[in-house]
Chain A
């Protein structure tokens, strides 16, 4: 029963909160939708912390796609042995994890010690950084330490298929019962973080300006047609 709650109900609830929350905020709270930077107040520490964290997250995202979304059989088909895959995952994932954790710690210290940054940061900002630190911390711990000292856990046989099964609405929750605790903690905290996205500054993930290189440099808009163009 607990398995059904944690591995079926909980993920769907959190993702639903995320999607509905994002839609609501996009439709009615557009003015608050931004990447709230403190570049203006301080840039010495931001210069190190922010790229470290963000590029780390991008790498970690790619790593999660490689481990969770792409099935194990794909790698086997390519002739990549499990051993080789794990070496890659430990080094690549470990690097990404360390970048994220180090970046977050720098950003957190900066948030606490620099006056204007601290005073302008609300509960949601601290919550976001601490939650990210928790998720990234557990992820980095299991990649670097757990995998090398306790057991090189083959999550591509359990967590991966379970994760993919969520998308086709046939969750294979039974796969998750034998997963080590630290992995469970990482997955659940990540889903909890997803639910918080619409209420924090993390919404800016969804406005990465991917169309910028393709658009014309100069933008004209007509005043009378403005409302119709949205």
Chain B
């Protein structure tokens, strides 16, 4: 057993209002430099829709993630030898047109235009070439809220493989938001795709980062990530990606996207997992078993044996305590109401989603007359087809999604029953059995999903700064008793001298 800790996130899609606050604050924090204009470490997609970049889920086109080849886990875009042969030209990489040509507006014209009969306009200007773009034809969230409707929706790879026909009439269609960040996978294919080894997973918290000094811009990570969350900076020619706001999480603060989330849909917590099990779990034959296999990698933080082994592995008490209180552990592992995004990519993603409930489509005309058990078939009649959710969150296994929706429906029925009556009926009902839950669990769930406060939603232990040996130096100390390098001395050399003396 090789215990590692992982900082992970759950997003409760029921509460996402698609306001893009997360994307905007993330962009202002991380990607407002030349070369990063088109990068959205966090983006919110309207589903059904092609997403960002266009059709990122089309693994035949971009060849992202892993696949089983003769029972062996291999990168879909090819192993190291194939990659080195393709190093002069990457055939699978997404181009600018799959994202969009970033633009700004010629605001200067608004200020300096001479007096004219007509109002001056700010024409769009490409941020890459500096030329006017007279007619931008695609941009981030161009398809927001199903804009483009029946022309754009069929581009969604999940829709294309659905048996059920998706209705596009206004009254009958469906829509949901899918906020996405880097998944900080347990088995990251971007890391495995990097020829130089510049991408790595941090030992302490599992955050996947790019070492910009080491990155040589070979670009295999860009399409090696099936979620398309590694971007190529055309200005510096290096890879950039979501870093889980590590300067914040190290200080015990939530990521900027979570901090500013208006709907409070995001939860951050620690989970413990066995790194030795990951490869085996990612190699199970049936893609529909990947979800269960991934759950099998996680360790129970309440188990004394796990606690002991974790301490041996250097995980501190603060992290163990955080793992016990972790909202991610509760939702993803204990209650099993959060599901991983596209488990079939075999990367073992660590951003989990609570699927959204939606209005019931057909047969319930008068909900007052509906008895508790009537909600069981209703789950299959929801406006967002289970088939669609299963395609995104469960490798097409509808039963997995159905179970989650049943549990969430049961929670809704029970919590309503507490106010309007019907709790006793609920305790006896088939619904509570079918949903495999209990009123006690539901109360706990409802609290975390509905009214949990800041420190319940974000249980983040601080990074372990006590192991840094140059803190005196960073604080600005002068060389006191040779504890810190002399001022102005080369830091690396100075620290080596100090360490020798200690």
Closest to A41 in B: B96
Q: How many residues on chain B are close to A (CB under 8 Å)?
A: 52
**Residue A34, interface by CB 8 Å:** yes
Q: Is the CB of B216 within 8 A of A204?
A: yes
A204 to B130, CA, bound (A): 28
Q: Within the complex, which residue of B187, B201, B212, B468 is in contact with A219, where a contact is CB–CB below 8 Å?
A: B201
**Residue A55, interface by CB 8 Å:** yes
Question: B212 to chain A: which residues have CB within 8 Å?
Answer: 31
Of the 9-residue stretches B115-123, B233-241, B402-410, which lies at the interface with chain A?
B233-241
A1-44 contacts to B (CB < 8 Å): 30-43
A40 to B128, CA, bound (A): 12
Q: Within the complex, which residue of A46, A115, A209, A222 is in contact with B131, where a contact is CB–CB below 8 Å?
A: A115
**Residue B356, interface by CB 8 Å:** no
Question: A223 to chain B: which residues have CB within 8 Å?
Answer: 202-205, 463-464
**Residue B479, interface by CB 8 Å:** no
Q: Is the CB of A36 within 8 A of B217?
A: yes
A185-230 contacts to B (CB < 8 Å): 204, 207-209, 211-213, 215, 217-224, 227
A209 to B216, CA, bound (A): 9
**Residue A116, interface by CB 8 Å:** yes
A51 to B80, CA, bound (A): 18
Binary CB contact string for chain A from 144 to 186 against chain B (1 if under 8 A, 0 otherwise): 0000000000000000000000000000000000000000000
Question: B95 to chain A: which residues have CB within 8 Å?
Answer: 39-43
Question: B216 to chain A: which residues have CB within 8 Å?
Answer: 33-35, 204, 207, 209
Q: Is the CB of B218 within 8 A of A35?
A: yes
Q: Is the CB of A119 within 8 A of B236?
A: no
Q: Is the CB of B200 within 8 A of A30?
A: no
Q: Is the CB of B130 within 8 A of A119?
A: yes
Question: A119 to chain B: which residues have CB within 8 Å?
Answer: 128-130
**Residue A54, interface by CB 8 Å:** yes
> Given A119-B128, A209-B216, A213-B81, A39–B192 Cβ distance below 8 Å?
no
Q: Give chain A nearest CB distance to B93 CB in angstroms.
A: 5
Question: A64 to chain B: which residues have CB within 8 Å?
Answer: none
A222 to B468, CA, bound (A): 12
Question: B75 to chain A: which residues have CB within 8 Å?
Answer: 217
Question: A215 to chain B: which residues have CB within 8 Å?
Answer: 197
> Given A34-B236, A212-B84, A213-B80, A43–B89 Cβ distance below 8 Å?
yes
Question: A217 to chain B: which residues have CB within 8 Å?
Answer: 75, 191-192
Q: Is the CB of B89 within 8 A of A39?
A: yes
Q: Is the CB of B202 within 8 A of A220?
A: yes
Question: A53 to chain B: which residues have CB within 8 Å?
Answer: 88
Question: A224 to chain B: which residues have CB within 8 Å?
Answer: 204, 464, 467-468
Q: Is the CB of A54 within 8 A of B88?
A: yes
Q: Within the complex, which residue of A43, A207, A213, A220 is in contact with B200, where a contact is CB–CB below 8 Å?
A: A220
Question: A219 to chain B: which residues have CB within 8 Å?
Answer: 191, 194, 197, 199-201
Closest to A209 in B: B195
Closest to B491 in A: A227
Binary CB contact string for chain B from 181 to 221 against chain A (1 if under 8 A, 0 otherwise): 00000011001101111011111110000011101111100
**Residue B232, interface by CB 8 Å:** yes
Question: A43 to chain B: which residues have CB within 8 Å?
Answer: 89, 91, 93, 95
Question: B150 to chain A: which residues have CB within 8 Å?
Answer: none
Q: How many residues on chain A are close to B (CB under 8 Å)?
A: 42
**Residue B90, interface by CB 8 Å:** yes
Question: A33 to chain B: which residues have CB within 8 Å?
Answer: 216
Question: A31 to chain B: which residues have CB within 8 Å?
Answer: 212-213, 236, 238
A46 to B93, CA, bound (A): 12
Binary CB contact string for chain B from 90 to 102 against chain A (1 if under 8 A, 0 otherwise): 1101011000000
**Residue B20, interface by CB 8 Å:** no
Closest to B84 in A: A212
**Residue B54, interface by CB 8 Å:** no
Q: Is the CB of B89 within 8 A of A40?
A: no
Q: Give chain B nearest CB distance to A136 CB in angstroms.
A: 16
**Residue B83, interface by CB 8 Å:** yes
A46 to B89, CA, bound (A): 7
Closest to A210 in B: B84
Q: Give chain B nearest CB distance to A107 CB in angstroms.
A: 11
A39 to B89, CA, bound (A): 7
A43 to B95, CA, bound (A): 8
**Residue A128, interface by CB 8 Å:** no
Question: B463 to chain A: which residues have CB within 8 Å?
Answer: 223
Closest to A114 in B: B129
**Residue A120, interface by CB 8 Å:** yes
A50 to B467, CA, bound (A): 47
A227 to B469, CA, bound (A): 11
> Given A50-B88, A209-B216, A212-B83, A218–B187 Cβ distance below 8 Å?
yes
Q: Is the CB of A35 within 8 A of B467?
A: no
Q: Give chain B nearest CB distance to A223 CB in angstroms.
A: 5
Question: A115 to chain B: which residues have CB within 8 Å?
Answer: 129, 131
Question: A42 to chain B: which residues have CB within 8 Å?
Answer: 95
Question: A47 to chain B: which residues have CB within 8 Å?
Answer: 89, 91
Q: Is the CB of A221 within 8 A of B202?
A: yes
Q: Is the CB of A221 within 8 A of B237?
A: no
Q: Within the complex, which residue of A36, A54, A55 is in contact with B237, where a contact is CB–CB below 8 Å?
A: A36
> Given A212-B195, A218-B201, A219-B191, A55–B88 Cβ distance below 8 Å?
yes
Q: Within the complex, which residue of B89, B96, B213 is in contact with A50, where a contact is CB–CB below 8 Å?
A: B89
Q: Is the CB of A39 within 8 A of B219?
A: yes
> Given A209-B216, A212-B84, A218–B237 Cβ distance below 8 Å?
no
Scoring A37, A119, A215 by chain B CB atoms within 10 A of each residue's CB, the highest score goes to: A37
Question: A227 to chain B: which residues have CB within 8 Å?
Answer: 492
Q: Give chain A nearest CB distance to B113 CB in angstroms.
A: 26
Q: Within the complex, which residue of A40, A209, A211, A212 is in contact with B232, where a contact is CB–CB below 8 Å?
A: A40
Q: Is the CB of B218 within 8 A of A220?
A: no
The 3 closest A-B pairs by CB, nearest first: A209-B195, A34-B217, A217-B192
- B residues adjacent to A (C-beta < 8 A): 75, 79-81, 83-84, 87-91, 93, 95-96, 128-131, 187-188, 191-192, 194-197, 199-205, 211-213, 215-219, 232, 234-238, 463-464, 467-468, 492
> Could you name 21 residue pairs across A and B whose Cβ atoms are closer than 8 Å?
A30-B213, A34-B237, A39-B219, A40-B93, A43-B91, A50-B88, A51-B88, A115-B131, A119-B130, A120-B234, A213-B79, A217-B75, A217-B192, A219-B200, A221-B200, A221-B211, A222-B202, A222-B203, A223-B202, A223-B204, A223-B464
Given contacts A212-B80, A224-B204, 17 further A-B contacts (CB under 8 A): A34-B215, A34-B238, A35-B218, A37-B232, A39-B95, A39-B219, A40-B95, A41-B96, A46-B89, A47-B91, A51-B88, A116-B234, A120-B128, A217-B191, A221-B200, A221-B203, A222-B202
